[in-house]
Each structure stands twice: as C-alpha cells, then as structure tokens.
C-alpha cells in the first residue's frame, strides 16, 4: 500500500570535512549517527541545501560510505543547490532525511561481482563493496569510468584499505586507463562465473549496459542499476520521479525512482523509455 519509511527520519548533524578532490568532485562527511546506522548500500538521503526556501527542494544523494556515526556523500556543483552545499564548512549543520529508497541486493550467489560506475555514479560503491566483502564476496571488480582522469573518483576510495576490491579505470579521452566508455570493459571482465552486476551512472551508460547484458548468453542472475529522476519529496508521496518500467497488459507503467528505486532490477526497466528521456534540468 505504501513505501516503508520506518528507518527514515529527519536528522541534523555537523559537517566534519569538505574534501575537494580533483576534477570538481567534493566528498562531504558529516556526523549523522542515525543515517550511518540505518542506511544500506544504494539507499539515499535527501539533503537540505538552504536554511531558507531557495532552492526549495532537498537534493538526493547516495550515501557513499559510513564509518562509525559518520556518513559521506560525493557530489559536484551542477546548480544552485549543490553550489550551496559546496559552501558548507566543518561545524555547519547538515539537515538530512533518510535513509530512503531501495538498495542493492546483498545476498548474492558465489562468484564475481562487477560494480560499474560512470562519473558521479561512483557514489554508492564504496559502501556496497564493503558490505559485500563483509558477506564473504571475494571477487569484486569496480569498473570506474569518467570523462577524463581528473574526474575519476580515486580507486583507493572504493577500496577503503581493502586490496580485495579491484578497480579498473576507463576515461573517455584516454588520460587514464582504458580509452573509451567503461561499458567497453564489461566484455572482458564479465565471466561465466559472474554472480551479479551492479551499476550506477548516467542514463546513456545504463542503457548501453542493459543492452549489452541482454545480448550476453550467460548474463548474471542479478543485474541492478541505480537510476535518477528529478524528485519532489524523495519518499513516495509526490509521484514526481516516475520512470518507465516494463509491464504486461498495460500500455504505460511507471515506477517511482525514490521508493521503487533508486536501485531497480535492470530487467524491469523500460530502457527504450529511459533512452528517450531528456537530459536532466538543473534548478
């Protein structure tokens, strides 16, 4: 009947660090004990960017990693909301609502797990890789792609000290790693023993990946992608973040990115419909 929000709550905590990485990426850490304790890999939080009413709406961000009562988010300045977030300093309050949405499946059969990241799609993978390792997954490969070397989220941040997590990089311009799209690395890393593929990135990347997996004879049983949509509330009430999904017997079907997703089984998504969506508008 409705979204399960029993773990979600409003929480205000102090910003601990604003770490400016190369290429405009910012890693924001804040003391948010509730979110840190409750969030699962792939879930997100709605961050309030302003203490006033402009910009009005919260902005959704995946939780990148947690440690103790600390949560990290990775973002770049794309509009008014992220510009304000970028001005936060250690000690400032951060007002969040979360955790929200559905995360990645953590119960995976034995075998390799591929995490495929494009650009800021890196965000959910540090927490996901760590959770999978705690569950005994031995073979995790992060395929990390970005436009250029400076915009690659650093490999060490996916690993967080765990050498068991391998990172293979690709850049559109060839400034580091494979020259080309990260999806071109899938063919050589997707073995018959691959148990799961987890993806997060721009729609164009996800569409390519979905088609590649559909054309693969022995695609893994688990294929999940974290999607994006302009959101109003983030908790299933405004119905603003509809995404096209496949359904039988109906001409159109929508799922809500915020509550049915953001992580969805790739086989359920209408990728032709996703491909037809316009580029997101920035407030």
Number of H helices, E strands in the chain: 7, 16
Residue 180 contacts other proteins per CB under 8 A: no
Residue 235 contacts other proteins per CB under 8 A: yes
Q: Least Å distance between CB 46 and other proteins? A: 8
Residue 91 contacts other proteins per CB under 8 A: no
The residue among 21 and 242 lying less far from other proteins, judged by its C-beta, is 242
| Interface with other proteins in residues 96-115 (CB under 8 A) | 97
Quick one: residue 201, left, alpha or beta (phi over 0 = left, psi -120 to 50 = alpha)?
A: left
Choose, by CB under 8 A, the member of 23, 26, 31, 55 that binds other proteins.
55
Q: Which residues contact 134 (CB under 8 A, 6 or more apart)?
A: none
| Interface with other proteins in residues 183-202 (CB under 8 A) | none
Q: Least Å distance between CB 183 and other proteins? A: 24
Q: Which stretch binds other proteins (CB under 8 A): 6-14, 132-140, 165-173, 211-219?
A: 6-14
Residue 269 contacts other proteins per CB under 8 A: no
- CA-to-CA distance for 128 and 262, rounded, in angstroms? 14
Choose, by CB under 8 A, the member of 60, 234, 261, 262 that binds other proteins.
234
Look-up: residue for tokens 């436009």? 147
| H-only helix segments in 19-175 | 33-38, 80-86, 125-134, 155-159
Choose, by CB under 8 A, the member of 21, 237, 270, 275 that binds other proteins.
237
Q: Which residues contact 274 (CB under 8 A, 6 or more apart)?
A: 203, 206, 207, 227, 243, 244
Q: Least Å distance between CB 9 and other proteins? A: 7
Q: What are phi and psi of 210, to 5 degrees?
A: -60, -40
* DSSP conformation class of 198: E
The residue among 5 and 155 lying less far from other proteins, judged by its C-beta, is 5
Q: Least Å distance between CB 275 and other proteins? A: 13
What is the CB-side half-sphere exposure of residue 274 using CA atoms within 13 A? 28
- CA-to-CA distance for 166 and 174, rounded, in angstroms? 20
- CA-to-CA distance for 150 and 177, rounded, in angstroms? 12
Q: Least Å distance between CB 4 and other proteins? A: 8
Binding site for other proteins (CB under 8 A): 1-6, 8-10, 48, 53-58, 97, 229-244, 250, 252-254, 259, 277-283
């Amino acid at each position: 009947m409705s979204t399960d929000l029993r773990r979600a709550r409003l929480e205000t905590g102090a910003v601990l660090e604003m770490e400016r990485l190369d290429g405009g990426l910012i890693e924001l850490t804040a003391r948010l004990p509730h979110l840190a304790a409750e969030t699962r890999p792939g879930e997100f939080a709605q961050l309030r960017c302003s203490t006033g009413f402009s910009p009005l709406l919260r902005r959704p961000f995946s939780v990148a990693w947690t440690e103790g009562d600390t949560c990290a988010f990775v973002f770049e300045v794309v509009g008014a909301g992220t510009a304000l977030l970028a001005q936060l300093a250690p000690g400032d309050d951060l007002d969040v609502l979360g955790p929200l949405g559905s995360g990645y499946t953590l119960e995976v059969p034995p075998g390799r797990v591929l995490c495929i990241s494009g650009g800021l799609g890196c965000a959910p993978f540090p927490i996901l890789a760590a959770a999978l390792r705690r569950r005994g997954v031995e073979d995790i490969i992060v395929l990390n792609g970005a436009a250029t070397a400076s915009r690659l989220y650093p490999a060490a941040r996916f690993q967080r000290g765990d050498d068991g997590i391998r990172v293979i990089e690709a850049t559109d311009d060839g400034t580091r790693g494979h020259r080309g799209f990260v999806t071109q690395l899938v063919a050589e890393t997707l073995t018959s023993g691959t148990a799961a593929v987890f993806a997060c990135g721009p729609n164009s990347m996800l569409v390519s990946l979905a088609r590649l997996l559909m054309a693969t004879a022995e695609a893994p049983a688990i294929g999940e992608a974290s999607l994006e949509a302009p959101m109003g509330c983030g908790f299933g009430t405004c119905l603003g973040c509809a995404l096209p999904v496949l359904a039988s017997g109906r001409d159109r079907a929508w799922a809500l990115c915020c509550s049915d997703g953001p992580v969805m089984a790739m086989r359920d998504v209408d990728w032709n419909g996703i491909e037809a969506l316009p580029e997101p508008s920035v407030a």
